[in-house]
C-alpha cells in the first residue's frame, strides 16, 4: 500500500488476523432466543445461546462469499461463515470496514468448490494505522456511511412513489378527472358539454374490422419447441410483454413458412399485447413501431385497435390502469396459475370519451409519464453514484486520507510488535478449524 502515511505499517492480513470457523446450527433450532444466528448473508434466525462474544465480525465462507457483517450482540455464526471476536490490539469497527473494503468475495476463484479460502485472505496486503487513528477512522466512517445509507434509503423509495404517481395519473385519466378543467373550459367556449358523453364499449368493439384483430397465441400443438430457430421471424413471449422489452438474446424465431402458417397469431407494430396468465395476468405493452412482424406465443393476447372507435394510445393507457387490471383479475381463473379466456376478455369494457378528449388525455398523460421516466432515470443514475460514493469513502479511509494524522499517535510499527509478541507467548494453536483470534 504505497503512499500510506509514515505512521502506518504495511502488513499482510494474516500477520494480524485469524478467522474462526462457524459451527453448524440446524435451522429447526433457529426460531427463538435473544441471540442472532448469522449465515453467510446475514441474520438467519435467533437462538437461546451464543458462540461468539460481541463485538463480532462475520465473513461469508460459502454461499454469499466474502459478505461481511458486524454484530454488536453475542451471536452464533454458522458453518458457512468465518468469524472474528477478539480485538485486543485493534479497533473492531475499523476491522469491519477494512474487511469490507478488501472485497473478499473476489478471491473466490474456484468453480468446483466455491468458497473463501482463508490463506488467500491472509496473503492480502493492508495498511495498518496506529490504534488511535483506527478509532478516528471508524468513528468518521460510522458518521459518513450512516448519512449515505439515509440518502440511499430515501432515493431507493422514489421508484415506489413514481409507480404510485403513474397509476394515479392513469386513474385520473380513465375517470375523467385529468381533463375536468379542460372540459369546463370547452363548455364555457360552447364547444362541448361538461360531461362530454363518455360511453362504454367492449374490448371486441374496440378491435379493428379485420380477421384476427383480437386473438390469442397458438395452442401448443401448433407451435412446438422443435419449431424454434436461431433466426427468422421472431416470437413474442409473456416475459417480453411484462418487461415491455422486445428482441434480446433470449428471443426465439420460426421459419417464414411457419410464420405464414400461424397468420392468425401474427402481430405488427402498434398492436396492444396483454398477458393472459400470471400472478396476476393483465400486463400490457404496445408492440414497438420499429419491431418486425412477429407471432405471439401461448398465453398472450393481441388487440389491433380500430382507431375510428378509440385511439390506440388512449386504449393502451386505460388498459395499463389499475381500473382495467382489476377487471382482468375478476375474470381470471385457475388454481396453480391464474388465466384469462379470450371469451371473457373480449367482454371487458372500456370507458371512451370523445375523440377530442381522448387526444387531450393522451397528450397530458404522455407528458406526465415522460416526466416520471426522466425522474426515474435520474434516480437510477443517483443510485449508481451513491454505490460508488460508499466505495470511494472506504478507499479514502484506507489510504489514510479520511481523517488527519496525529503526530502524537504511537506508530503502527509498535502495535505490530505487540501483536507479534502476544502471538509468541500465546498457547500454541494451529490455523485450523478450532481456534482463531484477531489481535
Please classify residue 165 by burial: count the beta carbons closer than 10 Å to its beta carbon, then call 0-12 exposed, 13-18 middle and 19+ buried: middle
Whole-model pTM: value is: 0.76
Average pLDDT, the chain: 91
Q: How many CB atoms lie within 10 A of CB 91?
A: 21
Query: Residue 44 above 60 pLDDT?
Result: yes
Distance of alpha carbon 78 from alpha carbon 55, whole angstroms:
16
Give the three-state DSSP class for 418. helix
Cβ(116)–Cβ(40) below 8 Å? no
Asked whether residue 298 carries a pLDDT value surpassing 70, the answer given is yes
Percent of the chain with pLDDT over 70: 93
Query: Which pLDDT tens digit goes with each residue over 390-419?
Result: 999 999 999 999 999 999 999 999 999 988
Q: Is 248 a residue whose pLDDT tops 50?
A: yes
Dihedrals phi, psi of 378, to nearest 5 degrees: -65, -35
pLDDT tens-digit profile of 419-434?
888 878 866 544 444 3
pLDDT tens per residue, range 131-161 = 999 999 999 999 999 999 999 999 999 999 9
Instruction: Give the residue carrying C-alpha cell 374490422.
Output: 209
Handedness of CA 109, 115, 119, 120 (dihedral sign): positive
Q: Are 37 and 47 in contact (CB under 8 A)?
A: yes
Q: What pLDDT is attached to residue 337?
A: 75
Q: Which residues pair with 9 in a beta bridge?
A: 128
d(CA 394, CA 406) in angstroms, rounded, equals: 20
Residues 302-313: tens digit of each pLDDT: 999 999 999 999
Specify the pLDDT at position 425: 80
Q: 76-85, 102-111, 260-269, 371-380: which range is least confident on average?
A: 102-111
Those residues whose C-beta lies under 8 Å from the C-beta of residue 428, and which sit 6 or more positions away, are none
Across the range 218-246, mean pLDDT stands at: 94
pLDDT at residue 52 in the model: 95
Q: Is the peptide bond before 280 cis (omega within 30 degrees of 0)?
A: yes
Amino acid at each position: 500500500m504505497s503512499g500510506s502515511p509514515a505512521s502506518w505499517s504495511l502488513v499482510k492480513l494474516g500477520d494480524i488476523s485469524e478467522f474462526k470457523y462457524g459451527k453448524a446450527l440446524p435451522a429447526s433450532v433457529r426460531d427463538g432466543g435473544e441471540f442472532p444466528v448469522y449465515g453467510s448473508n446475514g441474520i438467519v434466525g435467533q437462538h437461546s445461546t451464543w458462540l461468539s462474544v460481541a463485538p463480532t465480525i462475520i465473513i461469508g465462507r460459502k454461499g454469499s462469499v466474502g459478505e461481511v457483517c458486524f454484530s454488536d450482540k453475542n451471536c452464533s455464526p454458522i458453518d458457512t461463515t468465518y468469524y472474528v471476536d477478539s480485538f485486543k490490539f485493534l479497533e473492531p469497527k475499523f476491522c469491519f470496514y477494512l474487511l469490507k473494503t478488501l472485497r473478499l468475495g473476489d478471491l473466490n476463484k474456484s468453480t468446483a468448490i466455491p468458497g473463501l479460502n482463508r490463506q488467500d485472505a491472509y496473503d492480502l496486503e493492508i495498511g495498518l494505522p496506529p490504534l488511535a487513528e483506527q478509532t478516528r477512522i471508524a468513528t468518521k466512517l460510522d458518521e459518513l456511511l450512516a448519512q449515505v445509507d439515509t440518502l440511499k434509503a430515501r432515493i431507493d423509495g422514489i421508484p415506489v412513489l413514481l409507480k404510485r404517481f403513474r397509476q394515479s395519473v392513469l386513474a385520473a385519466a380513465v375517470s375523467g378527472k385529468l381533463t375536468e378543467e379542460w372540459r369546463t373550459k370547452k363548455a364555457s367556449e360552447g364547444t362541448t358539454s361538461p360531461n362530454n358523453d363518455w360511453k362504454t364499449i367492449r374490448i371486441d368493439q374496440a378491435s379493428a374490422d379485420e380477421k384476427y384483430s383480437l386473438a390469442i397465441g397458438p395452442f401448443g400443438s401448433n407451435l412446438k419447441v422443435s419449431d424454434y430457430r436461431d433466426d427468422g421471424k421472431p416470437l413474442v413471449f409473456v416475459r417480453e410483454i411484462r418487461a415491455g422489452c422486445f428482441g434480446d438474446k433470449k428471443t426465439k424465431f420460426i421459419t417464414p413458412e411457419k410464420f405464414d402458417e400461424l397468420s392468425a397469431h401474427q402481430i405488427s407494430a402498434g398492436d396492444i399485447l396483454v398477458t393472459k396468465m400470471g400472478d396476476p395476468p393483465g400486463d400490457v405493452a404496445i408492440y414497438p413501431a420499429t419491431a418486425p412482424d412477429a407471432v405471439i406465443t401461448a398465453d398472450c393476447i393481441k388487440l389491433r385497435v380500430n382507431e375510428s372507435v378509440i385511439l390506440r394510445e388512449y386504449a393502451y393507457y386505460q388498459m395499463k390502469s389499475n381500473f382495467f387490471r382489476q377487471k382482468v383479475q375478476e375474470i381470471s381463473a385457475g388454481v396453480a396459475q391464474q388465466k384469462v379466456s379470450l371469451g371473457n376478455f373480449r367482454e371487458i369494457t372500456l370507458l371512451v370519451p370523445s375523440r377530442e378528449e381522448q387526444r387531450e388525455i393522451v397528450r397530458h398523460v404522455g407528458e406526465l409519464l415522460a416526466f416520471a421516466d426522466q425522474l426515474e432515470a435520474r434516480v437510477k443514475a443517483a443510485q449508481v453514484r451513491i454505490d460508488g460514493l460508499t466505495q470511494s469513502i472506504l478507499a479514502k479511509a484506507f489510504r489514510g486520507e479520511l481523517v488527519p494524522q496525529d503526530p502524537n499517535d504511537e506508530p503502527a510499527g509498535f502495535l505490530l510488535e505487540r501483536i507479534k509478541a502476544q502471538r509468541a507467548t500465546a498457547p500454541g494453536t494451529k490455523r485450523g478449524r478450532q481456534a482463531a483470534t484477531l489481535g
